[in-house]
A = this chain, B = another copy of it.
Amino acid sequence: MTHIVETAESFADAALRGYCAVYERLVRPVPGGVLRSTATAEGKVAVVIGGGSGHYPAFAGYVGPGLADAAVAGDVFASPATRLVASVARKAHRGGGILLGFGNYAGDVLNFGFAAQQLRADGLDVRVLAVTDDVASAAADDTARRRGVAGDIAVFKIAGAAAEAGADLDAVERLARHANARTRSFGVAFGGCTLPGAHEPLFTVAEGRMAIGLGIHGEPGVKETAILPASELARLLVDRLVEEAPPGASGRAAVLLNGLGGTKYEELFVLWTFVSAALEKAGITAVAPLVGEYVTSLDMEGCSLSITWLDDELEPLWLAPCDSAALRVGTVPATAPAPALPPDDENRLSFPDSTPEGREAGRIMALALGRLAATLRSAEAELGRIDALAGDGDHGQGMTRGSQAAADAAAKASEAGAGAAGVLAAAADAWASRAGGTSGVIWGLGLQTASTALNDRVRPSAAQIRDAATQALEAVMRLGGARPGDKTLVDAFAPFAETLAADLEREQPIKVAWAHATERAFDAANATADLMPKLGRARIHEDRSRGHRDAGAVSFALAARTIGDTINEQ
């Protein structure tokens, strides 16, 4: 159980503040995460890691010389918002580029991926690495779908050591990918953790039973058995990992036996006596093994074993000195404190490139986004109803919250003189930060990508509009991982973008092409929508014979039509 809480909402933030207060020798707080409080060489590659809170010492506990430069922290078990990832990474940047490292979860892939895109738009060189060590989460020939668990630590340690030693971004990325490719983890759970403020565990495992391969947030495991004696548990873990030893691996490996929070040190040490014997039998020498709590899930009962097969390149990096709250290796030379941070000016709006024509386009864009917010608010209940047939029913709320924040930010940017690109970028950032949930990040990502095809100087041309739609779709599919037919907004977005591009190539007027594309989006979403503004409600007609529609696809079609209506008026 989690018992010490002030309010559930403030838990993750307060924990981070408390951590920074205790470890001020190593870290200092910034909005959304922590930075090293020690000086870092100019030109050094910044290793920025992160993910949800509730996993301490992951991730903030690994910030310090020889390890990470910064960590971004979301709410408990929730990915950090894109803008916080970008903001923390920007502050950590020392001119050498940035490696963003995180475990392979959909939310983190989106937020870190989108943040990388934003940072690149600012001219920074950013690489993204999703750790995929959990063998229980997908097959060996499908490693890209595997989750990241405690193996994170070895990968980040190796990347951090390489960056500290002065390797350039290409080399740091290559080494981190190499370490990830040679890292495998496997775990078991005896019981679930309780979220702050909750009275029941997030999940349970039956008394006397053990879930094999259960995810650290309760994701389904591969099977359940009676709890094994320590010797058999050790063999289970070692045997499963050894199966995936990389071809030609030497016998030397970084090994981490990790407790998830409720499984204690003595238990881990008992298990280690058998794990080390099993490793030895398998011809593996554990190099500077770690046994303890390195990636927890609050008070979850269980443990995992991680093996990183070392080679001549990786071993010195694994053994290199580092100094962080959770991991100290060797001796790091004393470092001067970092200079004070410049005042935060991220909310300052300035659009020096904009022209009168561009500003007029910005005004129209802001107008369209304002109408979009109104449309989605009036459709909120209907979208919620549709979402509840297949999902958790919160789609309408998230879209209302996100589109309203986007509309407000767009209006403000337009007033400050932004053109179409500036208005769209401001809207994108607000939508991703405020909507909550995956759809918010996806919309933020789509709009932000679209904004990069535009500029603040001219009214968007047909070619720019085509590029904006096409590139946004590409980014949403790449980072969101969805294909047409997966019952996501891509089902409507893909035919929309394709139709729009085709019509514009054939030099159809923008209004005509947009209307045609919108028709295709509604058709693909398997719905038609009649806005009835007088009733303050959207009623969405559905063709039940064609099965459930995806609420995301429907709201995409609604959005396309609202924007089209605004274009038509001009």
Contacts and interface: CB of A to CB of B under 8 A. Distances in A.
Interface in A264-306: 264-274, 276, 289-291, 293, 296, 298-299, 301, 303
Contact of A21 (B272, B301, B334): B272
B53 A14 contact: no
Contacts of A17: 269, 273
A235 to B, nearest CB: 12
A6 B56 contact: no
A318 interface: no
Contacts of A299: 262-264, 301
Contact of A15 (B3, B56, B266): B266
Contacts of A266: 2, 11-12, 15, 53-54, 56, 76, 196, 298
A355 interface: no
A80 interface: no
Contacts of A11: 266, 270
B57 A269 contact: no
Contacts of A263: 3-4, 299
Nearest to A19: B269
Give how many copies assemble into the complex: 2
A18 B56 contact: no
B298 A231 contact: no
A15 B262 contact: no
Interface string A135-163: 00000000000000000000000000000
A331 interface: yes
A14 B56 contact: no
A56 B265 CA distance: 6
Contacts of A233: 4
A328 B274 CA distance: 28
Chain A binding surface, main DSSP class: mixed
A18 B298 contact: no
Interface in A51-73: 53-54, 56-57, 61
A231 B5 CA distance: 9
A267 B197 CA distance: 11
Given A11-B266, A18-B291, A4 B271 contact: yes
A interface bracket (residues with beta carbon within 8 Å of B): 35 or more
A241 to B, nearest CB: 17
Given A6-B230, A268-B18, A1 B273 contact: no
A110 to B, nearest CB: 24
A222 interface: no
- Most B CB within 10 A of own CB, among A12, A263, A334: A263
Contacts of A290: 22
A334 to B, nearest CB: 8
A95 B143 CA distance: 59
Interface in A1-35: 1-7, 11-12, 14-19, 21-22
Contact of A231 (B1, B6, B229, B273): B6
A317 interface: no
Contacts of A303: 4
Contact of A270 (B5, B57, B274): B5
Contacts of A76: 266
Contacts of A301: 1, 3, 299
A564 interface: no
B328 A331 contact: no
Nearest to A259: B4
Given A15-B270, A22-B272, A2 B264 contact: yes
Given A230-B4, A264-B56, A269 B22 contact: yes
A199 to B, nearest CB: 8
Nearest to A6: B230
Interface of A: 1-7, 11-12, 14-19, 21-22, 53-54, 56-57, 61, 76, 190-191, 196, 199, 208, 210, 227, 229-231, 233, 261-274, 276, 289-291, 293, 296, 298-299, 301, 303, 328, 331, 334
Across the A-B interface, give the 7 residue pairs with the lowest CB-CB distance, nearest first. A18-B269, A4-B267, A15-B266, A18-B272, A56-B265, A15-B269, A6-B230
Given A21-B273, A54-B266, A264-B296, 16 more contacts: A1-B262, A2-B264, A2-B266, A3-B210, A3-B227, A4-B267, A14-B230, A15-B265, A17-B269, A18-B271, A22-B289, A22-B291, A56-B265, A57-B265, A61-B265, A331-B331
